[in-house]
Structure 1
Amino acid sequence: MKINDIASLLESLSERDLSILESLRTHRALTTALIRRLHFPIGGEPREAGSGKSHATEMAAAVATIRVLTRLEARRLITRLHRRIGGVRAGSTGIVWQLGASGERLLRARHGDPARRRYSEPSSGFIAHTLAAADLAIRLYELARQGTIELLRLEAEPECWRTFLSAHGARQWLKPDLFAITADGEFEHHWLIEADNATEHMPVIVRKALQYQRYANTGIHQQEHGLFPAVVWVVPDNKRQAAIRSALEREQKLRNLVQAGVFHVVTTEEFPAYIAGGHGSPANP
């Protein structure tokens, strides 16, 4: 795509069109329903830049969403995956979208990013996890739009990944699904968030928790911010919640972080109220 073509294309897109493309760049994949929640507010829902006008009903918002997405798809700015979330019965709300070839080139030019991303049909497990993380991010945006919290910072993968040196000098990576900084009044809260779909075995969860412990021991985040983030696993139900809590409490190496209140396990339903309550960001572990 030539520079003149990019400039012409940018001029033809609305602020909301660009916001949708940027959302897909950030979250890698979104369903029609998630895009509706982000960019097509209903009635009295607060609006933000790039969200366009409010719609009278959810049906009107849904119709407008699929009309805009179909237009962007026709220009190869976005593309739909073969898999639908919820199957055929979910209709257009279950369509999963990612950037198309033209959209990827456009945003690469806009951001001055020389590295080309390869977009192919991801596995069902990858999509389920990606959408779960995106849903949590959108819940944070919604809390901020409602005025319940201030959302000072939100990073998705891979921006939220952290690198550090182990005790033996080897480079290691910490790979949360989201990093967020929220505020309410005078207090600032830091969160490292794990979207859990109950697909990983407990030893995998414990190994991830031990990686968080190694990162905490470096003091990197504490030196910059004066505190260590709350590490939150967001799980689908109470059974999974109890299982992860029990696994973390049984691991002796994690006892200090458990006792310091660093690790938290909440259900998806509890997540918004939990964040709004500002239960995170304990003192230095």
Structure 2
Amino acid sequence: MTSRSIVQLEQHLTERDIRILEDLERFRLLTTRQLQRLHFPAVPLGPHTTSSSATRGTTRVLGRLENLGVIARLARRIGGITHGSALTVWQLGAAGDRFLRARRGEPKRRRYIEPGRTFMTHMLEIADTAVALIEQANAGRFELLELELEPACWRQFTSGSTATMILKPDLLVVSADAETETHSFVEVDRDTEHLPAVLRKCHTYQRYRATGNEQSGRGLFPAVVWIVPDAIRAKRIREAITAEKQLDTNVFWIITPESMNSQLAPYPAPVNT
């Protein structure tokens, strides 16, 4: 994309439009509803008096950006086409990708393809967790000092031998109030992984913890918070971790979505569901 075409496209984009493009680049996938919550909030956080007016404003802006080619809707919708436009899924379009990269002076282009349903559902659930935290921070309930999505939150390390390993959390969250900070690696569990796979991930966290890499940078090792669909899944994972004698149970916290805000917000002591 030439400097001239960047200027021409930028003339059609507002500051909010550019923030939408940046969020789609960062999150990779977002629904109309998630974009509304991020950029078109209703009162008291935004100018829209009702959720329906916020939805109309969101749909209008996303339609304009789609016509410019800077964003693209996925052919597949979450929940089926009969559930309405709020479940349309968006990703950065080719023109949007070129625009953002050109502004940063990055020549390499990222290839965007239609993701599979499993990947899409997982990414949107991760996004829902992140969006909820951003909303809480915007409402003044706490500060959000760090919110890293994958792959920015991934950690490469060497454990024991010369073998290189990669720890792949879904999120890294650091929240704070006037007195405390809460550091968390977050795993958004959909009850699709067998328990042995969950335990392997826990062992990878423990191996990374043993390197001291994270502690040297931030002075502590973040809690590992598994957000699971229901209490039954929470009980199974907790019992499996407890049965693994090599795992330090104090590192791992298993909660349901209802407990998310209290666990990831600043807290004096972790609270299990």
Category of TM-score, reference length = shorter chain: over 0.9
Quote the residue 1:169 is aligned against.
162
Residue in structure 2 matching 1:233, options 221, 226, 229: 226
Give the Cα–Cα distance (whole angstroms) in 1 for the partners of residues 204 and 172 of structure 2. Answer: 16
Per the alignment, in what secondary structure is the counterpart of residue 97 of structure 1? Answer: strand
Quote the residue 1:264 is aligned against.
253
Give the Cα–Cα distance (whole angstroms) in 1 for the partners of residues 104 and 181 of structure 2. Answer: 30
Give the Cα–Cα distance (whole angstroms) in 2 for the partners of residues 79 and 18 of structure 1. Answer: 15
Cα pair 1:164 1:171 within 8 Å, conserved = yes
Per the alignment, in what secondary structure is the counterpart of residue 44 of structure 2? Answer: coil
Per the alignment, in what secondary structure is the counterpart of residue 82 of structure 1? Answer: coil
- TM-superposition CA deviations, 1:193-248 (whole Å, max 9, x none): 11111111100000000000000000011111111001011111111111111111
Residue 141 of structure 1: how far off its partner (Å) = 0.3
TM (normalized to structure 2)? 0.95
Q: Percent identity?
A: 48
Quote the residue 1:138 is aligned against.
131
Residue 280 of structure 1: how far off its partner (Å) = 6.9
Cα pair 1:153 1:182 within 8 Å, conserved = yes
Residues 177 and 280 of structure 1, relative CA distance in 2, 3 Å threshold = farther
Cα pair 2:76 2:89 within 8 Å, conserved = yes
Give the Cα–Cα distance (whole angstroms) in 2 for the partners of residues 11 and 239 of structure 1. Answer: 53
CA RMSD of aligned residues (A): 1.4
Matched, 1:39 2:39: yes
Per the alignment, in what secondary structure is the counterpart of residue 246 of structure 2? Answer: helix
Give the Cα–Cα distance (whole angstroms) in 1 for the partners of residues 144 and 157 of structure 2. Answer: 26
- TM-superposition CA deviations, 1:94-136 (whole Å, max 9, x none): 0000011101111111233333211111000000010011111
TM (normalized to structure 1)? 0.91
The amino acid across from 1:42 in the alignment is A
**Which consecutive aligned stretches of 4+ in structure 1 deviate over 4 angstroms post-superposition?**
none
Per the alignment, in what secondary structure is the counterpart of residue 181 of structure 2? Answer: strand
Stretches of structure 1 lacking an aligned partner (at least 5 in a row): 48-53
Aligned length: 270
Cα pair 2:37 2:131 within 8 Å, conserved = yes
Give the Cα–Cα distance (whole angstroms) in 2 for the partners of residues 276 and 151 of structure 1. Answer: 9
Give the Cα–Cα distance (whole angstroms) in 1 for the partners of residues 225 and 214 of structure 2. Answer: 16
Within-5 A mapping of 1:28-67 = 28-45=28-45, 47=46, 54-67=47-60
Matched, 1:9 2:9: yes
- TM-superposition CA deviations, 1:18-71 (whole Å, max 9, x none): 1111110000000001101111010112x5xxxxxx101000000000110010
Matched, 1:246 2:269: no
Cα pair 1:42 1:61 within 8 Å, conserved = yes
Moved more, 205-214 or 218-227: 218-227
Give the Cα–Cα distance (whole angstroms) in 1 for the partners of residues 234 and 11 of structure 2. Answer: 48
Give the Cα–Cα distance (whole angstroms) in 1 for the partners of residues 32 and 38 of structure 2. Answer: 10
The amino acid across from 1:29 in the alignment is L
Moved more, 81-90 or 134-143: 81-90
Give the Cα–Cα distance (whole angstroms) in 1 for the partners of residues 251 and 268 of structure 2. Answer: 10
Residue 275 of structure 1: how far off its partner (Å) = 2.0
Give the Cα–Cα distance (whole angstroms) in 1 for the partners of residues 258 and 29 of structure 2. Answer: 22
Matched, 1:183 2:172: no
Matched, 1:115 2:104: no
Give the Cα–Cα distance (whole angstroms) in 1 for the partners of residues 227 and 105 of structure 2. Answer: 35
Quote the residue 1:24 is aligned against.
24
Stretches of structure 2 lacking an aligned partner (at least 5 in a row): none
